[in-house]
Amino acid sequence: MNISERKKQILKSIVENYIETAEPVGSRAISEGLGLSSATIRNEMAEMTSLGLLEQPHTSAGRIPTSLGYRIYVNELMRSHMLTISETEEINKSLKIRMEQLDKAISDAGRLVSELTNYPAYALAAVNTPVTVRRFDFIQVDPRTLIVVLMLSNSTVKNRLMNLTRPLDEGFLLKLGAVFNANFTNCPESEMDSTLISSVERATGDIYGISASIASFAIRALSETENKKAFVAGASHILEHPEYRDWEKAHRLMNYLSESENVFRLPVPEDNSDVKILIGSENVAEELKDSSVVVAKYELGAGVEGLLGVVGPTRMDYAKVAASLSYIAKGMKALVDGKENHLPVLGNEKSADE
């Protein structure tokens, strides 16, 4: 979109004023800041309205940005936000999560984002390489109790306690280990079918009826690991924003976010970009047409990558939200690399301002 520099400055003032006050902004409100008379600004506003960058709730109200208006602001005018020292300190402190429990780490990251931005946040993780069992181990606790330990190809370990109906013979345990390690390791979930299982059952001469349980445990462990996980935090924050004071709007959005299938369908940043921003009508889901989504990608090594996002009104503090998300997403990566004391510091590298 090619518009004059002056129009851009006016648009910028309108967007920032509107983000702050949540009220349609009139020509007078920004005339001083720009050193132009309100009449001049009115003329420009009228043109921008017909260009589709601004709209009026009604004839005698000020202007508010359209999705397109926000889009231009985000692409060309937004000055990248600088997190305060105390904010980065808070993030750094919170990020020192115990990473053993992947789920918890991810949901905590979501919570952190939500608290920081005061918008509902979501976090999701997916494993993008097929996972296999790398190794089976069996620990005999007592004659009728067995612990099955699986080491998976992504370096996670799963275990399960199993009870037997009759005392276990030691030789059987060795055979069980040999057969499972020979047949099931490096075998993706999809190939673990019933014929494989029954052939293993024969090979071990299983009189305890336990091979099938072990196999199904392995299958479940793999599918659990490969399954996507979604967490939503701070959904109630949307009630703080005037655009959701209407309970039906709030309810619709909260309902949408409480279904994890919907969360999985939220947008994904392009590979080359840091943060993706979808504004209002740019969203495909009907329920999000008057909300915006800001999302960042993070990696956790071991083939795990995921998204960290924020949902809020189109009148969102995009600069701050994008900065926070980007910082936290990078921080998660750094955490895994063990450099938790060297978190990146976001600067003005993306400034489009003078």
Find out whether 233 and 103 touch, Cβ atoms under 8 Å. no
Query: Would you count residue 62 as binding DNA (CB under 7 A)?
Result: yes
Name the residue nearer to a second copy (CB basis): 22 or 147.
147
161 binds, options DNA, a second copy, none, Cβ within 5 to 8 A by partner type: a second copy
Name the residue nearer to a second copy (CB basis): 60 or 165.
165
> By CB under 7 A, which span of 26-34, 72-80, 144-152, 194-202 interacts with DNA?
26-34
156 binds, options a second copy, DNA, none, Cβ within 5 to 8 A by partner type: a second copy
Query: Would you count residue 250 as binding a second copy (CB under 8 A)?
Result: yes
The residues, ordered by sequence, that sit 6+ positions from 201 with a Cβ below 8 Å of its Cβ are: 211, 212
> By CB under 8 A, which span of 22-30, 71-79, 157-165, 345-353 interacts with a second copy?
157-165
- Provide, rounded to whole angstroms, the least separation between the CB of residue 5 and DNA: 11
Q: Which of 26, 62, 110, 234 binds a second copy (CB under 8 A)?
A: 234
Size of the site for DNA (CB under 7 A): 22
> By CB under 7 A, which span of 60-68, 142-150, 170-178, 231-239 interacts with DNA?
60-68
Name the residue nearer to a second copy (CB basis): 160 or 228.
160
- Provide, rounded to whole angstroms, the least separation between the CB of residue 297 and DNA: 39
The residues, ordered by sequence, that sit 6+ positions from 298 with a Cβ below 8 Å of its Cβ are: 109, 305, 306, 307, 308, 328, 329, 330, 332, 333
> By CB under 8 A, which span of 49-57, 135-143, 182-190, 310-318 interacts with a second copy?
135-143
> By CB under 7 A, which span of 57-65, 139-147, 149-157, 269-277 interacts with DNA?
57-65
Q: Which of 2, 5, 58, 354 binds DNA (CB under 7 A)?
A: 58
Give the number of other Cβ atoms within 10 Å of residue 192's Cβ. 20
Tokens of 287: 């329920």
Size of the site for a second copy (CB under 8 A): 30
236 conformational bin, left if phi > 0, alpha if psi -120 to 50, beta if neither: alpha
Q: What are phi and psi of 237, to 5 degrees?
A: -60, -30
Query: Would you count residue 280 as binding DNA (CB under 7 A)?
Result: no
Q: Write the interaction track for a second copy spanning residues 212-231; mark x where CB under 8 A is met and - where it is not.
A: --------x-----------
Q: List interacting residues with a second copy (CB under 8 A).
A: 98, 100, 135, 137, 139, 141, 147, 149, 151, 155-161, 220, 234-236, 239-240, 244-245, 247, 250-251, 254-255, 258
